[in-house]
A and B are shown apart, each in its own frame.
Chain A
Amino acid sequence: MQAIGAAKPPLGVIFDADLGNTVDAVLALAVLYGMDGKNECRVVATTVSKHCLTSAAMAEVIARFYAGTVSADFGAVGRGLPVGMSIAGKSPESTPLLDAVLGRKNPEGKPVYNHGILQLNDTADVHAVLRNAYTSQYDQNCVTVLAGPANNLAGVLSLPGAKELIKQKTRALVWAPDRLGTDPAAAQKLLAEWPAPLYIVIPRRRARNQLRLVGDPSHRRRLPRRAADALRRPHRRRRRRPRRRQAGAVFHALRSRLGHALTPPHPRLEGWCWAAPPAADRPRAEDRPA
């Protein structure tokens, strides 16, 4: 329980992803829990942005794997994190990645990785989870890491008072926009209405031509449509190695002390992570390309 007068705890991280499509988001969440164990951050909420029980189960498996180092959520001690899950749209099928983990059995034929998500009401109302997580943070002491479509966060923005709350509590949103085309309307809304600094983590070679500036809300006024259009372009199919955008987002959120020397956050991420420079160094609005 956080008490008045106590020192601020480590940065809270709210993690929202479409877990199960690629290994990136899984690795990112693992990195977060690893940092949580070293008291470098606290994972205060985990949500999945697709209507898929196995995806939510994967989030819980990862949390349980790191049990003992997971932060208590919402200031209450001694219980697990409820995994929020989007129920918008049609439920996508499980993926080979999820099946490989959740279907793994020990010699006795029992699952190697246990979880408690078997039906819909084992998951949590995603908007309530996100909003409640923000309410329990000290001012400017959390970041949101979004690895996937923006539908969950766009939904939270529609709740009354949510924008003020987010502005008060969060330092930034760090977004690794994989599969953005699944919900362009939500992406538009997020880009247009997110009330705090927003950093998009994307390979530099794409960012150079597509996104010049995504930072303070006042700088994004004329950007949403262009940004969303650009990001909706299909990804290249050919991948020789796992992409590290989500992992980059996590490193970026936690290691770079947002607002200071943002680029690059880590030498190994050079070329993979792109973000807006601190407010003082940003180009003025009139300097932006037409």
Chain B
Amino acid sequence: MITRKALPRRTLLRGLGAAIALPAMDAMAPALASSQLPGKKPVRMAFVYVPNGIVDHKLWNVAEGQLGELPRLLKPLDGFQGDMLHLGNLTHNGGRALLDGAGDHGRCCGGYLSGIQPRKTAVDIKAGITCDQIVANKVGSQTRFASLEVGLEDGRQAGDCDSGYSCAYTNNLAWRSETQPMPPILNPRALFERLFGTGQILSPEARARQGKFRRSIIDFVTDDTRKLQSNLGPTDRRKLDEYLSSIRAIEKQLEKAENDTAQIDPGIERPYGIPADFAEHFKLMTDMITVAFQADMTRVVTFLVTREGTSRSYREIGISDGHHPLTHHLFNPASIEKVAQINTYHVKQFAGWLEKLKAAKEGDSNVLDNSMIVYGAGLSDGNRHNHEDLPTLMFGKAGGAFKTGRRIVYRKETPISNMYLTMMDRMGVNVEHFGESTGRLDGLNLS
């Protein structure tokens, strides 16, 4: 007779002012259940948005069919061909002028995930509910956070950011309703405390004072951890150790980032706790998203790498010009080369995140296999400001549903909303139409 009871999926390690969710463990599966039950693992979706399009499609596109050697801009993704769907000819018609004149940056980002054209205004903003929020509304009740909105660059939420388009359009990816954007979390400390603790964000001085007495969040849940460990098998014990170690590693990175303030030029106000280094900031945020996915704290993430139309410079790779001015390169080879380096730099950071998702085991698969991670932009060519053949990559097998490792070129003008519909289907949200959709994307599924 089998009497073993499964560990509840929502088990938390609790301590004073802290609660840590757990990753999926073997002990959470019912006795005699197969670890390979299809469709039982949660499927996640994430959108990683990069601004200002890409520099040249010849450096991005590959031949249709099985993926082999990757072009220059995608070189950092070597090794991930088997997890990738390289999609071509997806179009966002709402990003086009459609009689509204200039403002491609505002339009393409503001309507990217809703598939519509936002209203040209800096005051009474109106876009559309985004597909991630539709999914969050439906499946969000099953997780601690319905969705997470993350970003790396600070930006205004009001005022005119692009030829009459509100900053709300360029600086937000997710929209809860037509008029309510979901500003991304930029501060790693804020994201960490949202995920793992309830402490308030203190001033740098107060935090420095408190730092002397700081303990790891893991210290607060020691008793619970010990109790749990005694009930776990060796595999789960190792998994728990790895998981807690990854949280501790994030804490250490945060502490390091906070100490970075000394490196900032005096007189320049910088938000507290944000690393000076772009790559480190990217890594910190994606580390936390990985943990959130692992622990099933959320299944929906939007990640605005930097705001659309950004003029951020990348001194860490030797580029002191602004990103946006560089994209209008007037076919100057030096400028084109710099934009190519920025595009590759973004892809390189993203590849680092994919590595972690792939390393996060989940039964016989991994978190990446059970996800749909879209890496894309609302502009196709940053110089031409066009909105067809958007650079779009999708990673992960959506829980075994998608056949990856291929380049699929759809018919011209195929709405990118068709992709959102297909993804929503995989998340268990069946909607007949969305945005400017004309159907679903075919050719993604295994069958």
Contact = CB atoms under 8 A, between A and B. Distances in A.
Contacts of A79: 386
A76 B386 contact: yes
Given A1-B101, A3-B101, A127-B438, A121 B410 contact: yes
Contact of B412 (A1, A123, A127, A136): A123
A136 B98 CA distance: 4
Interface stretch (B88-96, B125-133, B186-194, B310-318): B88-96
Nearest to A2: B99
A2 B97 CA distance: 8
A78 B386 CA distance: 10
Given A127-B438, A128-B91, A128-B436, A121 B411 contact: yes
B413 A84 contact: yes
A157 to B, nearest CB: 13
A136 B438 contact: no
B415 interface: yes
B98 A128 contact: no
Contacts of A160: 433
B412 A132 contact: no
Contacts of A121: 64, 88-89, 409-412
A131 B88 CA distance: 20
A174 B99 CA distance: 25
Given A121-B89, A125-B411, A138-B99, 17 more contacts: A1-B101, A2-B97, A4-B99, A76-B96, A76-B387, A79-B386, A82-B388, A122-B412, A124-B412, A125-B438, A128-B93, A128-B415, A131-B93, A132-B436, A136-B98, A159-B438, A160-B433
Interface in A1-38: 1-4
A113 interface: no
B170 interface: no
A47 to B, nearest CB: 11
Nearest to B438: A127
Interface of B: 64, 88-89, 91, 93, 96-102, 117, 384, 386-388, 409-415, 433, 436, 438
Contact of A75 (B99, B409, B411, B433): B99
A136 B89 contact: no
A227 interface: no
A122 B388 CA distance: 13
A2 B101 CA distance: 6
A135 B100 contact: no
Contacts of A65: none
13 contacts: A1-B101, A2-B97, A82-B388, A82-B412, A123-B411, A124-B414, A128-B91, A128-B415, A128-B438, A131-B438, A132-B96, A136-B96, A137-B99
A231 B15 CA distance: 79
B411 A124 contact: yes
Nearest to B93: A132
Nearest to B414: A125
Nearest to A160: B433
Given A136-B98, A136-B99, A120 B411 contact: yes
A181 to B, nearest CB: 26
Contacts of A124: 411-414
Contacts of A82: 388, 412-413
Contacts of A4: 99-101
Contacts of B388: 82
Interface in A75-91: 75-76, 78-79, 82, 84
A74 interface: yes
A127 B386 CA distance: 20
A101 B91 CA distance: 32
Nearest to A128: B413
Q: Identify the 10 closest CB pairs spanning chains A and B, nearest first.
A: A124-B412, A128-B413, A124-B413, A82-B412, A3-B101, A75-B97, A132-B93, A127-B438, A121-B409, A160-B433
A172 B91 CA distance: 28
A48 interface: no
A243 B436 CA distance: 38
Nearest to B386: A76
A212 B414 CA distance: 40
Interface string A94-111: 000000000000000000
Nearest to B97: A75
Contacts of B436: 128, 131-132
Contacts of B101: 1-4
Contacts of B91: 128, 132
A82 B93 CA distance: 13
Contacts of B102: 1, 3
A3 B384 CA distance: 17
B387 to A, nearest CB: 8
A153 interface: no
B98 A125 contact: no
Contact of B413 (A78, A129, A137, A138): A129
Nearest to A77: B384
A125 B386 contact: no
Contacts of A138: 99
A138 B117 CA distance: 16
A80 to B, nearest CB: 10
Nearest to A1: B97
Nearest to B64: A121
Interface in A116-152: 120-125, 127-129, 131-132, 135-138
A181 B440 CA distance: 29
A125 B411 CA distance: 6
Contacts of B93: 74, 128, 131-132, 135
